[in-house]
């Protein structure tokens, strides 16, 4: 009786195990889904598609590439594939692991429309190449924009500098013109005052106003000539010093000769300036009682003489500056 009972129990247990084995194998897809393997993988052979994340690899033929034991070790991060470990370590039960790898090891044939890894890799490479090409184009466009901005800034700076230079040149010219006008006005005023003083002094002394005006004009001419001669002497001395410095510095002979010529010309001009230009005395007044009328005839002649001297001085001074 005991033996029969043991045989019955054995048969019952064996039958249960026999019927449970297919159920365990049939539960592979459920374990695959429950462990969220579909986040990265699909199994097109049984209609399982991947989730929202990009497809890494379809597992329809994984059983043809790897044995059951290797699959179990890989899921537990004990072995690597292409020098890379599985992304996550197995967190399910040993029974679910056995069920899953048993099911995966039986997957050996993919349907005709199963994803192609080579095609996926090519698509990924194309996407990477497109991204690199876009980045290169963006970089080139950014560089061109930077170059254009730099060129525009350089042009704007050049235009601003040219405008500033033009404004400075105009201001210098205006200042020079204003100074020349002021100098001319001052010279005219000085000549008028000198002529008036000479006429007044001659009137008080009972002298001939014409002779007094001529004398004042001659004295002013001599003073102006001496001043111009002094300026020319200074310019000549400076020219000689420049020539000596040029010769000492070993500059070309033409430069030294030009400096010497300029010095000689300055000396000659100074010698010429020492002799006042001849002027004709103004006409004598018609009557001795007409001092005012006589001075009226004397003043224009004196002014002409003084203006001529001042103009000559300005010409000599300008030449000395240019030399």
Please tell me the predicted confidence (pLDDT) of residue 160.
94
Domain count, the chain: 2
Would you say residue 171 lies in a domain? no
DSSP assignment, residue 89? -
User: Looking at the structure, do residues 15 and 109 belong to the same domain, yes or no?
Assistant: yes
Please tell me the predicted confidence (pLDDT) of residue 214.
80
Cβ neighbours for 287, distance < 8 A, ≥ 6 positions apart: 293
Would you say residue 142 lies in a domain? no
Please tell me the predicted confidence (pLDDT) of residue 45.
87
Please tell me the predicted confidence (pLDDT) of residue 184.
84
Would you say residue 223 lies in a domain? yes
Pick out the chain residues at pLDDT < 50: 1-3, 6-26, 279, 282, 284-295, 323
DSSP letter string, 292-306: HHHHHHHHHHHHHHH
CB count within 10 Å of CB 107 equals 19
Q: Which CA distances in Å does 248 have to 134, 239, 244, 257?
A: 67, 14, 6, 13
Would you say residue 130 lies in a domain? no
Please tell me the predicted confidence (pLDDT) of residue 238.
81
CA dist., res. 87 & res. 97, Å (int): 16
Q: Residue 176, CB half-sphere, CA atoms under 13 Å: how many?
A: 7
Domain edge (last residue) among 115, 144, 171: 115
Domain edge (last residue) among 115, 142, 167: 115
Please tell me the predicted confidence (pLDDT) of residue 106.
93
User: Looking at the structure, do residues 220 and 317 belong to the same domain, yes or no?
Assistant: yes
Helix (H, G, I), strand (E, B), or coil: what is residue 84? Answer: strand
User: Looking at the structure, do residues 208 and 304 belong to the same domain, yes or no?
Assistant: yes
User: Looking at the structure, do residues 107 and 196 belong to the same domain, yes or no?
Assistant: no
Rounded to two decimals, the pTM is 0.30
Q: Residue 75, CB half-sphere, CA atoms under 13 Å: how many?
A: 23
User: Looking at the structure, do residues 95 and 196 belong to the same domain, yes or no?
Assistant: no
Would you say residue 215 lies in a domain? yes
Domain edge (last residue) among 115, 136, 167: 115
User: Looking at the structure, do residues 196 and 108 belong to the same domain, yes or no?
Assistant: no
Would you say residue 187 lies in a domain? no
Please tell me the predicted confidence (pLDDT) of residue 11.
43
* Token pair listed for 48: 């399982």
Please tell me the predicted confidence (pLDDT) of residue 175.
93
Cβ neighbours for 126, distance < 8 A, ≥ 6 positions apart: none
Would you say residue 147 lies in a domain? no
Decide if 35 contacts 27 (C-beta within 8 A). no
| CATH assignment of the domain containing 11 | 1.10.760.10
User: Looking at the structure, do residues 211 and 301 belong to the same domain, yes or no?
Assistant: yes
Range of the domain at 39: 2-115
Smallest CA-to-CA distance from 33 within 48, 46, 20, 45 is with 48
Cβ neighbours for 259, distance < 8 A, ≥ 6 positions apart: 239, 240, 242, 243, 246
Q: Find where tokens 């129990």 sit.
A: 9
DSSP letter string, 19-75: HHHHHHHHTHHHHHHHTTGGGTEEBGGGTB---SSPP-EE-TTHHHHS-HHHHHHHH
User: Looking at the structure, do residues 318 and 233 belong to the same domain, yes or no?
Assistant: yes
Would you say residue 140 lies in a domain? no
Q: Calculate helix-pair angle for 117-205, 209-248, nearest 10 degrees.
A: 140
């Amino acid at each position: 009786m005991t033996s029969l009972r043991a045989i019955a129990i054995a048969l019952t247990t064996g039958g249960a195990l026999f019927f449970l084995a297919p159920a365990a194998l049939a539960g592979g897809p459920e374990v695959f889904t429950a462990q969220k393997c579909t986040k990265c993988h699909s199994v097109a052979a049984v209609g399982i598609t991947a989730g929202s994340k990009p497809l890494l690899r379809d597992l329809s033929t994984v059983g043809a590439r790897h044995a059951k034991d290797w699959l179990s070790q890989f899921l537990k991060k004990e072995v690597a594939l292409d020098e890379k470990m599985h992304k996550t370590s197995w967190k399910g039960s040993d029974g679910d692991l056995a069920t899953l790898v048993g099911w995966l090891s039986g997957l050996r044939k993919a349907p005709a429309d199963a994803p192609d890894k080579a095609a996926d890799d090519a698509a990924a490479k194309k996407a990477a190449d497109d991204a690199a090409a876009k980045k290169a184009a963006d970089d080139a466009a950014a560089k061109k924009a930077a170059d254009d901005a730099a060129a525009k800034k350089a042009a704007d700076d050049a235009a601003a500098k040219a405008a500033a230079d033009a404004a400075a040149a105009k201001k210098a010219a205006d200042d020079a013109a204003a100074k020349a006008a002021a100098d001319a006005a001052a010279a005219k005023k000085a000549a008028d005052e000198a002529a008036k003083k000479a006429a007044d002094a001659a009137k008080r002394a009972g002298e001939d106003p014409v002779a007094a005006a001529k004398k004042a004009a001659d004295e002013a001419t001599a003073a102006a000539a001496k001043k111009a001669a002094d300026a020319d002497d200074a310019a000549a001395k400076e020219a000689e010093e420049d020539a000596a410095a040029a010769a000492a510095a070993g500059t070309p002979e033409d430069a030294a000769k030009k400096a010497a010529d300029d010095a000689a010309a300055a000396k000659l001009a100074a010698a010429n300036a020492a002799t006042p230009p001849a002027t004709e005395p103004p006409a004598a007044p018609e009557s001795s009682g007409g001092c005012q009328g006589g001075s009226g005839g004397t003043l224009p002649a004196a002014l002409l003489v003084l203006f001529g001297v001042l103009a000559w001085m300005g010409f000599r001074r300008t030449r000395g500056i240019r030399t």
